[in-house]
Amino acid sequence: EAGVTQFPSHSVIEKGQTVTLRCDPISGHDNLYWYRRVMGKEIKFLLHFVKESKQDESGMPNNRFLAERTGGTYSTLKVQPAELEDSGVYFCASSLGDTQYFGPGTRLTVL
Amino acid sequence: AQSVTQPDIHITVSEGASLELRCNYSYGATPYLFWYVQSPGQGLQLLLKYFSGDTLVQGIKGFEAEFKRSQSSFNLRKPSVHWSDAAEYFCAVGITNTGNQFYFGTGTSLTVIP
């Protein structure tokens, strides 16, 4: 069974540009999460989808971040416009219940 | 507010030596507790988890962890470290068992020397 996949693995953009990160959860997992780790800090929750609905988006930093999960399958996280402080590793996780399975992350660098 | 503390940012051990990684949490009730490991270029892999019952839990790769309610701790242990255990280890707290958000510690980076 394929695990959680994320694309791209790395992205380097300039301040003010737009970037879209993609996450493909494990097939059949209704729950999908986005997390972010800024260098040297803890991994922090961004938001949680149940199927295509946003269950909890309390961790989203501001309105420059937009997450979608069309059809309850894959999810995208768009940052527009990107700022320097958005740099970090963005993790996606999926679950059926109590255990979350994580992808390898997307390393975003904003110059 | 919930929080997770991993006091050791970096630990170096010799191959074959024992290992203990510390984790303390702050939460009003007994949370669901997890340890994940991240090897370079890999995602976070679940090592073990505790929800209830026996406070000593066994995980993959020879790891175990012990939940101590009185100390609000969930320390990870391994009796004999292998070079392949070099990675970053994260302790996490889940508030419910229905897939709610996790709170993570800052991670402990483990170096294994020959």
The pLDDT tens digits of the residues spanning B59-85 come to 999 999 999 999 999 999 999 999 999
d(CA A39, CA A47): 19
A42: chain B residues, CB-CB within 8 Å? 4, 103-107
Give the Cβ contact number of residue A24 at 10 Å: 18
Measure Cα distances from A94 to A25, A35, B102 in Å. Answer: 6, 11, 12
Q: Are strands B108-113 and B3-5 parallel, antiparallel or unpaired?
A: unpaired
Asked if A48 and B46 come within 8 Å (Cβ–Cβ), the reply is no
Nearest to B44 by CA among B112, B107, B113: B107
List beta partners, residue B88: B38, B109
**pLDDT tens-digit readout, B5-50:** 999 999 999 999 999 999 999 887 778 899 999 998 788 999 999 9
Q: What is the pLDDT of residue A22?
A: 98
The torsion region of residue A99 among left (phi > 0), alpha (psi -120 to 50) and beta comes to beta
Asked if A103 and B43 come within 8 Å (Cβ–Cβ), the reply is yes
